[in-house]
Amino acid sequence: MSKVPAELRFLKSHEWARLEADGTVTVGISDHAQQALGDLVFVEVPEPGRRVVAGEACAVVESVKAASDVYSPVNGEIVAGNAALGGQPELINQEPYGSGWIMRVRPEDKSQFAAMLDAKAYEAALAAETH
Amino acid sequence: MPFIPHTADDIREMLATIGVPDVEALFDEIPQALRSDALASIPPALTEMEVGRLMSERAARDGRPLNFIGAGAYEHHVPAAVWAIVTRGEFYSAYTPYQAEASQGTLQLLYEFQSMMTSLTGMQVSNASLYDGASAVAEACLMAVRANRRSKSARILLPAALNPTYREVLAAIAGNQDLRFETLPYDARGGCTTAASLEKYRGEDITAMVIQQPNFFGTLEEVDALTDFAHTAGMLVIAVVNPTSLALLKPPGEWGVKGVDIVCGEGQPLGIPLSSGGPYFGFMTTRMEHVRQMPGRIVGRTVDLDGKPGYTLTLQAREQHIRRSKATSNICTNQGLLVTAGTIYMALLGAQGLASVAASCMERSAQLVDALTRIPGVRLAFDRPRFHEAVLLLDRPVAPVLEALAARGIVGGYDLATHYPALGPALLTCATETRAPAEIDAYARALGEVLKSAAAA
User: Where residue A5 falls among pLDDT bands split at 50, 70, 90?
Assistant: very high
For chain B, which residues score pLDDT lower than 50?
Answer: 1
Residue A2 covered by a domain = no
Chain A CB contacts of B150 under 8 Å are: 47
Instruction: Name the residue range of residue A48's domain.
Output: 31-119
If DSSP codes are grouped into helix, strand and coil, which group holds residue B348? helix
CB contact under 8 A, B317 and A64: yes
Contact criterion met (CB < 8 Å) for A63 and B323: no
Q: Which residues contact B304 (CB under 8 A, 6 or more apart)?
A: B310
Kindly provide the ipTM of the predicted complex, given to two decimals: 0.76
pLDDT reported for residue B95: 66
Q: Does residue A125 fall inside a structural domain?
A: no
Chain A, 13 to 72: residues with Cβ < 8 Å from chain B are 41-42, 44, 47, 62-67, 69
CB contact under 8 A, A67 and B149: no
Q: Is residue A20 situated within a structural domain? A: no
Nearest to B367 by CA among B429, B432, B438, B440: B440
Which of A50, A62, A85, A103 is most worth mutating to test chain B (most B CB atoms within 10 A of its CB)?
A: A62
A24 lies in some domain: no
pLDDT the model gives residue B4:
76
Which domains are seen in chain B, by residue range? 66-75+351-456 (3.90.1150.10), 80-344 (3.40.640.10)
> Which domain CATH number covers A113?
2.40.50.100
Contacts of A40 in chain B (CB under 8 A): none
Residue A64 maps to a domain: yes
Q: How many residue contacts between A and B have a Cβ separation below 8 Å?
A: 21
Is residue B318 within 8 A of residue B282, CB to CB? The reply is: no
Residues 6+ apart with CB under 8 A from B261: B144, B147, B208, B236, B237, B238, B286, B287, B290
CA distance between the termini of chain B = 62
Helical ranges in B122-247 per DSSP H: 133-147, 164-174, 223-232
Residue at A44 is within a domain: yes
Q: Report strand pairing: B180-184 vs B155-159.
A: parallel
The number of folded domains in chain A is 1
Residue type, B56: S
Query: Which residues lie across from A25 on neighbouring strands?
Result: A19, A105
Q: Is the peptide bond before B425 cis (omega within 30 degrees of 0)?
A: no
Determine the distance from the C-alpha atom of residue B140 to the mean position of all C-alpha atoms in its chain, rounded to a whole number. 13
Q: Is residue A126 part of a domain?
A: no
Has residue A107 got a pLDDT over 90? yes
CB B157 within 8 A of CB B209: yes
Asked if the Cβ–Cβ distance from B326 to A65 is below 8 Å, we say no
Partner residue facing A67 (CB), from B149, B150, B323: B323
Each residue of B384-433: pLDDT tens digit? 999 999 999 999 999 999 999 999 999 999 999 999 999 999 999 999 99
Contact A67 B150 (CB under 8 A): no
**Bridge-based pairing state of the strands B262-266 and B236-241:** parallel
- pLDDT the model gives residue B148: 94
What confidence score (pLDDT) does residue B94 get? Answer: 62
Would residue A49 count as lying in a domain? yes
